Amino acid sequence: MSDKSAQKKKYILETARSVFMEKGFKNVTMKDIVEACNISRGGLYLYFASTKEIFLEVLRLEQLEADDVFEKSIPEEAGPADILALFLKEQKRELLSKKPGLTKASYEFFFENHEGGKNHFLKKQFDSAVLVIQKLIEAGVESGEFYCEDARRAASNIMYVLEGLKIASQTRGISEAAVDREILYVMQGLIAEE
């Protein structure tokens, strides 16, 4: 019953995911997950040996799905600037949301688990986002919407600002206005200079 087994594994991961979203990483115990899943204590150990293992799997799923979702939400005939604006808006929404996905849990997790190398979840996520933005900027430059000498660096800069906003939001809290200000600033950097 490798099928049923895979089914259950997926069920556990999805349930665990919502637990991590709510409580972060360090606050989640095997017991928490067992209870959220309504399975037996021993049952969980049949599939996973620790919260760490579970979390890594959750992230793996996350990555798979992320690629899908991203592409779908882009309107067919949008210009690069529009798409970038859309992307930033989406980031802003999640930034300020009360349910910030797995951000906090990931940070907590990777504070302690530096492993991963090239496959590091956060690294891959960051790099692929940089790449997307870079492409958008390049397209924007081509179409004359943007002015930018080094799209790669500009993209990277934007992502670091977003990362800074994210951590600020998760720790000290941040106002919508402040987020808008920062986003506007980076957008102006692409447009205003002629």
Token digits of residue 119: 């496959």
Residue 49 DSSP class? S
Q: Which does 58 bind (CB under 5 to 8 A by kind): DNA, its own copies, none?
A: none
Q: Could you give the CA distance from residue 71 to residue 56 in angstroms, rounded to a whole number? A: 24
Binding residues among 121-140 for DNA as defined by CB under 7 A: none
| Count of positions on this chain that bind DNA (CB under 7 A) | 19
State yes or no: residue 26 binds DNA (CB under 7 A): no
Binding residues among 44-63 for DNA as defined by CB under 7 A: 45-47, 49-51
Q: Could you give the CA distance from residue 166 to residue 164 in angstroms, rounded to a whole number? A: 5
How many angstroms separate the Cα of 18 from the Cα of each of 53, 77, 85? Answer: 16, 34, 29
State yes or no: residue 156 binds DNA (CB under 7 A): no
- Under 8 Å between Cβ of 148 and 190: yes
With tokens 């919508």, the residue in question is: 176
Which residues of this chain interact with its own copies, rule CB under 8 A?
24, 26-27, 104, 106-108, 110-112, 114, 116, 120-123, 126, 150, 153-154, 156-157, 159-168, 170-173, 181-182, 185-186, 189, 193
| CA terminus-to-terminus distance, the chain | 64
Q: Which does 193 bind (CB under 5 to 8 A by kind): its own copies, DNA, none?
A: its own copies
State yes or no: residue 181 binds DNA (CB under 7 A): no
State yes or no: residue 113 binds DNA (CB under 7 A): no
Q: Which helix (H) or strand (E) holds 99?
A: none
- Residues of this chain that bind DNA (CB under 7 A): 1-2, 4-5, 8, 29-31, 39-43, 45-47, 49-51
